[in-house]
């Protein structure tokens, strides 16, 4: 599942994901709440995975300026 801020309008992130090889999974795009002052031009991805790894070993990737959103968990 992808969310995008309202200023991201050029393409659906799901299209890019399929072009990268994720053609065999359902994908969903939606828009974030347009909160005044929120970080612009952000694409968020939530992926459901099955893993035996404990939650503490899961790494959360925040690219570039998005790391400012969650410095507590960004890798």
Ligand X SMILES: C=C(O[C@@H]1C=C(C(=O)O)C=C[C@H]1O)C(=O)O
Which residue lies nearer to ligand X by CB, 19 or 65?
Answer: 65
CA torsion angle 10 46 58 72 (round to 10): 70
In this chain, which residue has its C-beta nearest to ligand X? Answer: 69
In the region spanning residues 12 to 71, those forming contacts with ligand X, defined by CB under 6 A, are 32, 69-70
Please tell me the distance from the alpha carbon of residue 46 to that of residue 55, in angstroms, as a whole number.
Answer: 15
CB of 25 to ligand X, least distance (A): 22
Which residue lies nearer to ligand X by CB, 17 or 69?
Answer: 69
Please tell me the distance from the alpha carbon of residue 40 to that of residue 7, in angstroms, as a whole number.
Answer: 7
CB of 16 to ligand X, least distance (A): 20
Q: Which residues bind ligand X (CB under 6 A)?
A: 32, 69-70
């Amino acid at each position: 599942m992808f969310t995008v801020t309202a200023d991201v309008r050029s393409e659906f992130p799901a299209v890019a994901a399929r072009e990268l090889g994720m053609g065999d999974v359902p994908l969903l795009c939606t828009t974030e709440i347009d909160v005044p002052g929120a970080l612009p031009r952000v694409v968020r991805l939530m992926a459901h995975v099955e893993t035996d790894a404990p939650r503490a070993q899961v790494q959360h990737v925040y690219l570039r300026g998005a790391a400012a959103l969650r410095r507590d968990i960004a890798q």
